[in-house]
């Protein structure tokens, strides 16, 4: 299986999706006629995008023994990947000049920024829990920080926070400055995923989508049958699946370079820091790429939602500069910029802690969910043994389980379970083709033990009744 000749394809593990192609039959024909192989990554939102015209792709040769600088892909490499809409976007002339306001000695008459003296908020502070000592510390914003947070900012995000998080990527993934990548911000990683897809895909392009996956990837798509792409010559699976919380084999690209030459790989990894398995944390694709013959294919999505605050809506994208430029241009024409005030608050917090205390904090968060998982699984054994099967998650905040002797969880969860006072996610909504499935997703992040006990008791009653009904119907 591979990309379409004359088409651009994107793989998100599991199912090919054709956008705005006339019929599923036409889509299937394009796929079966294809000969140009693609690589697949399988972090929570893996994407592998192929060239529209792979035969015209610039040739890049690399050797893992070569200096890293000589293995970084050139800017020209990314040009064929860009969507028509992305190519038509032009730089905003006002936004392009804004950085010049910071030049020493310049008096700016440029931007129509409101005067900070008119803002009603005159001071701000927050109380921060130290992740090591557990003491609470009051952290005030300086007058300069507050003024900066209440004012318009860069469409790429706060430069100081950008710098701090580049340092975090070095600590977490071993990727240093000057290695063919940079960083920009969005209002959560979902915002950035949308903008990267918009930058790389045109109507009629093909995506291979992992199943199960979050529902936004299903919209506006025509589904065609599933094709599996596990191949011993490529990366197979890495880090943590969003729904299952299960480990994926982290494999380096071991040959098959011809298949890789026309692809870039995007991975959304929001649960990277919520790992609580016994084995060491597996390396990310972003880390693994550094030792490949060519560097610059991996586009990584991160989020502060799971470790600092989901309401702050701060996601950050680690990617080659041409991809960052396309995303920032999209931001300028849509929501203008990420929220400055939440970036200022995040930066102040992170500077207060430093990298070591942030690591202590995320380890503490992971152990919190570890304990939540253990309680929830004990209750699942109490109520669902013999009724369902599951793998114990090692990361994240969900159980993904399969109901025994049932083929479709949709009606049971949406109707009967809800009528019995319990709400979960039917597995069918996590499949791009909305196939029938006996799987259910249950979140354990918020519930106290007493609530979880009652929820699973109610769910058990519904499952038992449904299984009895299924047996009677088949008799």
Cα Rg, the chain, nearest whole Å: 24
10-residue mean pLDDT series, the chain (475 residues): 37 35 39 33 37 39 70 92 92 86 91 91 97 96 96 94 98 93 95 92 72 59 48 35 48 38 78 92 90 90 94 96 96 94 98 97 97 98 97 94 92 94 91 83 97 98 93 76
- The packing angle between helices 340-384 and 449-474, to 10°, is 50
pLDDT of residue 86: 94
Reduced to 3 states, what is the DSSP secondary structure of residue 125? strand
Strands (DSSP E) found in 192-349: 206-209, 222-226, 263-268, 298-303, 315-319
pTM check: above 0.85? no
pLDDT of residue 204: 75
pLDDT of residue 376: 98
How far apart CA 176 and CA 182 sit, in angstroms, is 10
| Contact by Cβ (8 Å): 180, 320 | yes
Token readout for 8 is 């651009």
pLDDT of residue 429: 83
- The packing angle between helices 159-173 and 340-384, to 10°, is 40
365 closest CA partner among 308, 322, 405, 429? 308
How far apart CA 222 and CA 15 sit, in angstroms, is 11
| Contact by Cβ (8 Å): 54, 263 | no
User: Which domains are delineated in the chain?
Assistant: 2-113+152-338 (3.40.640.10), 366-474 (3.90.1150.10)
Residue 394 gets the label, from left (phi > 0), alpha (psi -120 to 50) or beta, of alpha
pLDDT of residue 261: 54
**Which residues have a Cβ under 8 Å from the Cβ of 89 and sit 6 or more positions away?**
326, 329, 330, 333
């Amino acid at each position: 299986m591979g990309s379409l000749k004359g088409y651009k394809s994107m793989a998100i593990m599991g199912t090919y999706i054709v956008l705005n192609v006339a019929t599923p039959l036409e889509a299937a024909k394009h796929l079966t006629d294809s000969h140009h192989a693609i690589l697949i990554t399988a972090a929570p939102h893996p994407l592998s995008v192929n060239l529209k015209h792979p035969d015209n792709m610039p040739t890049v040769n690399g050797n893992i023994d070569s200096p890293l600088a000589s293995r970084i892909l050139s800017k020209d490499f990314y040009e064929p990947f860009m969507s028509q809409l992305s190519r038509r976007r032009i730089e905003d002339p006002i936004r392009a000049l804004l950085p010049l306001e910071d030049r020493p000695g310049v008096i700016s008459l440029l931007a129509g920024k409101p005067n900070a003296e008119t803002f009603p908020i005159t001071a701000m502070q927050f109380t921060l829990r130290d992740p090591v000592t557990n003491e609470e510390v009051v952290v005030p914003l300086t007058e300069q920080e507050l003024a900066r947070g209440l004012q318009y900012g860069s469409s790429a995000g706060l430069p100081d926070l950008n710098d701090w998080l580049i340092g975090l990527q070095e600590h977490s993934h071993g990727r240093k400055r000057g290695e063919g990548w940079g960083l920009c911000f969005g209002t959560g990683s979902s915002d950035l995923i949308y903008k990267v897809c918009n930058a790389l895909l045109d109507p009629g392009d093909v995506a291979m989508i992992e199943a199960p996956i979050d529902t936004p990837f299903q919209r506006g798509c025509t589904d065609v049958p599933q094709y599996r792409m596990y191949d011993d010559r490529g990366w197979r699976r890495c880090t943590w699946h969003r729904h299952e919380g299960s480990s994926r084999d982290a494999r380096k690209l071991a040959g098959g370079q011809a298949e890789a030459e026309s692809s870039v790989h995007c991975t959304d990894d929001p649960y990277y820091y919520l790992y609580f398995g016994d084995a060491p944390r597996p390396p990310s694709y972003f880390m693994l790429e550094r030792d490949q013959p060519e560097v610059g294919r991996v586009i990584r999505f991160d989020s502060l939602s799971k470790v600092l605050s989901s309401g702050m809506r701060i996601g950050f994208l680690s990617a080659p500069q041409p991809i960052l430029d396309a995303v920032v241009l999209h931001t300028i024409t849509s929501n203008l910029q990420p929220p400055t005030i939440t970036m200022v608050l995040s930066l102040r917090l992170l500077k207060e802690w430093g990298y070591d205390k942030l690591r202590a904090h995320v380890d503490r968060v992971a152990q919190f969910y570890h304990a939540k998982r253990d309680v929830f699984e004990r209750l699942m054994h109490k109520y669902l043994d013999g009724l369902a099967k599951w793998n114990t998650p090692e990361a994240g905040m969900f159980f993904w389980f399969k109901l025994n002797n049932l083929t479709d969880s949709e009606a049971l969860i949406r109707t009967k379970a809800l009528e019995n006072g319990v709400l979960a996610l039917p597995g069918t909504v996590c499949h791009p083709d909305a196939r029938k499935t006996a799987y259910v997703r249950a979140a354990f992040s918020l519930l106290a033990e007493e609530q979880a006990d009652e929820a699973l008791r109610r769910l058990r009653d519904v499952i038992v009744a449904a299984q009895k009904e299924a047996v009677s119907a088949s008799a």
